[in-house]
Amino acid sequence: MQSELRVARIMTYIPHTPSEREVMLKTLGLNSLDDLFAHLPAEVKAGELNLPKGLGEMELSAEMSRRARKNKATNELTCFLGAGAYDHFIPPVVDQLVLRGELYSAYTPYQPEISQGILQIIYEFQTMMASLCGCDVSNASLYDGATALVEGCQMAVRHTGRNRLVLDGAIHPHYLQTAQTLLGVQGIELQIIAPKSGEFRSNINAMSAAMNEQTAAIVVGFPNFYGSIDDISAAAETAHKAGGMLVSISNPFSFGLLQPAGALGADVVCGEGQAVGVPLQFGGPYLGYICCKKEFVRRMPGRLVGQTLDMKGRRAFTLTLQAREQHIRREKATSNICTNTALCAMMSHFYMSALGKSGLKRAAELSVMKTDLLRQKLRAVKGVIVPEYAVFNEFVIETPEPAKQVLDGMLKAGVLGGLDLGIYDKARANQILVAVTEKRTEGEIERFVNTISS
Amino acid sequence: MSNVLPGLKYSKEHEWVKIEGNVAAIGISDHAQSQLGDIVFIELPKVGASAQYMKAVGVVESVKAASDIYSPVSGKIVAVNEQLTKTPESVNKDCYGTGWMVKIELSKPEELNALMDDKAYTEFLAKH
């Protein structure tokens, strides 16, 4: 209560007076504001900043810089960590364009049609994403990969009127948790099918076998969490035969080189778009995206920009198919997403424009070649096992010592070696998920090998 | 003044019902289509699905709004007007003819008693 009073005194623009807060807390039967958040795990709370009273702006900013330096950024380390967020090269022109005041908006603007420039950029972003993913339509973007997965699943459930989904267990564990939470409360039944024991490939056969006429969709990771690229067209065929759909959770960067999921039969392609033009930026905000075949467009969540003609017959852009959305359809809307991550979508647009089709292909090719080079070198390292399966730019290795120990050692040498898979599964405590982007040099790949051997 | 066709039954949600033996053809009234404005999309149920009294069987989307189509009767869907997916504007042009939406095999014919005839519906429109 004391700290709260202090805040209220300093920040006088907080509209509630201490006595009003006390009344509200009393009504709720709580003693302090902290009680209101007691259900949150301690480790996710920011805690006290422990700043001395009355620092000047200059002293304060010096103090905060000093603290910020405790963080190690990827520009000081060599980053082989991926698992959904990747250290790709982004041309500086992207930053420069994004900082323009007329574009600097986190969301779809209000009265969007006044901002024709932003709508044109979003329209072009949609066109590029749809084309990259092998689909007919993309929306204006969603929040992140995990919620994009949920939205993709909901599209299938709504379209088929079926209440059951078969999910690939080789989707990011965080995404699966999000799906279990958000779909579980809607009473949607999820059957999660893990890869075969000791394997990292998506278990397409088992997923196909689990598909039936009560199931809305097969939901597959392509490339999956372990980097594996599998033949999802078989899953598409099974799903369609049973009157269901195929939803693919994909890293769109991979489609610079790989056959896109849409072309392989996926009806909905969605996931995390960070790899296509958004910096790592401390883990967010990122870029959820969702694309689909034309016949499903009215099941699509969120905002959609269309092209039209204005009163004078000139090319113009407008939000379209809004009858899907919450402000019109209320509780029957396709989703409660009512905006998009406009700034991140714009970054992605500028990135894709700067690289072009051939640039995206080259960046993807380089990532694959360098991934292959590192895998090759690691096969020769004593004690390290490189499981064999087809991958894009990410793969698993098994180490003789626990992954945590290996990674801590590498970090001391300035190498961010990857993700300790033991975090999610104790049986995987000796496994590391390693990602290689086009940014990694041969010398850096050599350093990875040297630091892991020592 | 909107057109109310004699010989049909009407619901308070502005659906019309035409009885053909044990089957009811259903659409929306002239009043409903004029209130909605230009209709751009119609979502219809699958043949074989079941319809329940006053529960949604489809959606009509116009440039202004999206509204549910409520089934004025219970039963099994025996036909849907597939043409409407291509030409939803038929509902604006000919709501009692080519603009029909679904045909339902009645499971509770007594539900028809709760509907209005053309005269009662005309009065209902005048009051609302």
Instruction: Give the model's pLDDT for residue B39.
Output: 95
Q: Which of A162, A213, A328 to mutate to test the interface with B (most CBs of B within 10 A)?
A: A328
Measured in degrees and rounded to the nearest 5, phi and psi for residue B27 equal -150, -170
Q: How far apart are CA A15 and CA A27, in angstroms?
A: 18
Instruction: Give CA torsion, residues A421, A423, A426, A428, to 10 deg.
Output: 0
> In Å, how far is A323's CA from the nearest CA of chain B?
6
Residue in chain A nearest B60 by alpha carbon: A323
Answer yes or no: do A323 and B61 touch at CB < 8 A: yes
Letter for the amino acid at B9?
Answer: K
Q: Helix or strand or coil: residue A248?
A: strand
Give a yes or no: residue B128 inside a domain.
no
Instruction: Give the model's pLDDT for residue A229.
Output: 98
Q: Which of A329, A330, A334 to mutate to test the interface with B (most CBs of B within 10 A)?
A: A329
Q: Which of A320, A321, A326 to mutate to test the interface with B (most CBs of B within 10 A)?
A: A321
> How would you classify the pairing of strands A189-193 and A164-168?
parallel
User: Which residues on neighbouring strands pair with residue B10, listed in sequence order?
Assistant: B16, B116
User: Which residues on neighbouring strands pair with residue A338, listed in sequence order?
Assistant: none
Q: How far apart are CA A153 and CA A166, in angstroms?
A: 10
**Chain B residues whose beta carbon lies within 8 Å of the beta carbon of residue A298:** 41, 43, 61
Q: Which of A159, A322, A325, A330 to mutate to test the interface with B (most CBs of B within 10 A)?
A: A322
Letter for the amino acid at B124?
Answer: F
Q: Token pair for residue A134?
A: 């092998």
Q: How far apart are CA A419 and CA A428, in angstroms?
A: 11
Answer yes or no: do B65 and A298 touch at CB < 8 A: no
Letter for the amino acid at A411?
Answer: L
* Sheet strands (E) in A195-267: 215-221, 245-249
Answer yes or no: do A332 and B41 touch at CB < 8 A: no
Residue in chain A nearest B45 by alpha carbon: A161
Q: How far apart are CA A421 and CA A433, in angstroms?
A: 7
The answer to whether residues B96 and B116 touch, using CB atoms and an 8 Å cutoff, is: no
Question: Is the sign of the CA dihedral A327, B85, A304, A217 positive or negative?
Answer: positive
Measured in degrees and rounded to the nearest 5, phi and psi for residue A281 equal 25, 60
Instruction: Give the model's pLDDT for residue B32.
Output: 95
Question: Is the sign of the CA dihedral A103, A302, A297, A136 positive or negative?
Answer: positive
Is A346 exposed, middle or buried, given 0-12, 13-18 or 19+ CB atoms closer than 10 A? buried
Instruction: Give the model's pLDDT for residue B64.
Output: 77
pLDDT digits (tens, 9 = 90+) for B64-111: 788 899 999 999 999 999 999 999 999 999 999 999 999 999 999 999
Answer yes or no: do A323 and B43 touch at CB < 8 A: no
**Chain A residues whose beta carbon lies within 8 Å of the beta carbon of residue B62:** 323
A/B interface, count of CB pairs below 8 Å: 14
Instruction: Give the model's pLDDT for residue A2.
Output: 45
> In Å, how far is A78's CA from the nearest CA of chain B?
53
Q: How far apart are CA A5 and CA A96, in angstroms?
A: 42
Instruction: Give the model's pLDDT for residue A384.
Output: 97
**Sheet of strand A164-168, all strands in order from the earlier edge strand to the far edge:** A137-138, A288-292, A268-272, A245-249, A215-221, A164-168, A189-193
Residue in chain B nearest A325 by alpha carbon: B66
- ipTM of the complex in this document: 0.74
Give a yes or no: residue B45 inside a domain.
yes
Q: Which residues of A touch B (CB under 8 A)?
A: 298, 323-324, 328-329, 332
> In Å, how far is A218's CA from the nearest CA of chain B?
22
User: Which residues on neighbouring strands pair with residue A269, listed in sequence order?
Assistant: A248, A291
User: Which residues on neighbouring strands pair with residue B116, listed in sequence order?
Assistant: B10
Residue in chain B nearest A321 by alpha carbon: B63
User: Which residues on neighbouring strands pair with residue A225, listed in sequence order?
Assistant: none
Q: Token pair for residue A94?
A: 């992207």
**Chain A residues whose beta carbon lies within 8 Å of the beta carbon of residue B41:** 298, 323
Residues of the domain holding B56: 9-108
Instruction: Give CA torsion, residues B19, B24, B26, B30, to 10 deg.
Output: 10
Q: What's this model's pTM, rounded to 2 decimal places?
A: 0.88
Instruction: Give the model's pLDDT for residue A57.
Output: 93
Residue in chain A nearest B56 by alpha carbon: A332
Give a yes or no: residue B115 inside a domain.
no
Answer yes or no: do B66 and A328 touch at CB < 8 A: yes
Letter for the amino acid at A354?
Answer: A
Residue in chain B nearest A324 by alpha carbon: B66
Domains by residue range for chain A, with CATH: 2-68 (no CATH), 78-89+359-453 (3.90.1150.10), 92-351 (3.40.640.10)
Rg, chain B, Cα only: 13
**Chain A residues whose beta carbon lies within 8 Å of the beta carbon of residue B67:** none
> How would you classify the pairing of strands A164-168 and A215-221?
parallel
> In Å, how far is A181's CA from the nearest CA of chain B?
28
Q: How far apart are CA A155 and CA A165, in angstroms?
A: 11
Per-residue pLDDT of chain A (454 residues; tens, 9 = 90+): 444 545 445 555 678 888 999 999 999 999 998 899 999 998 888 878 888 888 899 999 999 999 999 988 888 999 999 999 999 999 999 999 999 998 988 888 888 999 999 999 999 999 999 999 999 999 999 999 999 999 999 999 999 999 999 999 999 999 999 999 999 999 999 999 999 999 999 999 999 999 999 999 999 999 999 999 999 999 999 999 999 999 999 999 999 999 999 999 999 999 999 999 999 998 899 999 999 999 999 999 999 999 999 999 999 999 998 888 888 888 888 888 888 999 999 999 999 999 999 999 999 999 999 999 999 999 999 999 999 999 999 999 999 999 999 999 999 999 999 999 999 999 999 999 999 999 999 999 999 999 998 7
A389 vs B2, higher pLDDT: A389
**Chain B residues whose beta carbon lies within 8 Å of the beta carbon of residue A299:** none
Measured in degrees and rounded to the nearest 5, phi and psi for residue A206 equal -65, -35
- The enclosing domain of B60 has a CATH number of 2.40.50.100
Answer yes or no: do B43 and A298 touch at CB < 8 A: yes
Instruction: Give the model's pLDDT for residue A10.
Output: 54
Instruction: Give the model's pLDDT for residue A12.
Output: 59
Q: Token pair for residue A323?
A: 């009858």
Q: Domain count of chain B?
A: 1
Q: Which residues of B touch A (CB under 8 A)?
A: 41, 43, 61-62, 65-66, 68
Answer yes or no: do A328 and B68 touch at CB < 8 A: no
Q: Which of B36, B47, B61 to mutate to test the interface with A (most CBs of A within 10 A)?
A: B61
Opening angle at CA A121, ends A348 and A137, nearest 5? 80
**Chain B residues whose beta carbon lies within 8 Å of the beta carbon of residue A324:** 66
Q: How far apart are CA A255 and CA A272, in angstroms?
A: 13
Answer yes or no: do A329 and B66 touch at CB < 8 A: yes
Is A259 exposed, middle or buried, given 0-12, 13-18 or 19+ CB atoms closer than 10 A? middle
> In Å, how far is A334's CA from the nearest CA of chain B?
12
> How would you classify the pairing of strands A215-221 and A419-420?
unpaired
Give a yes or no: residue B42 inside a domain.
yes
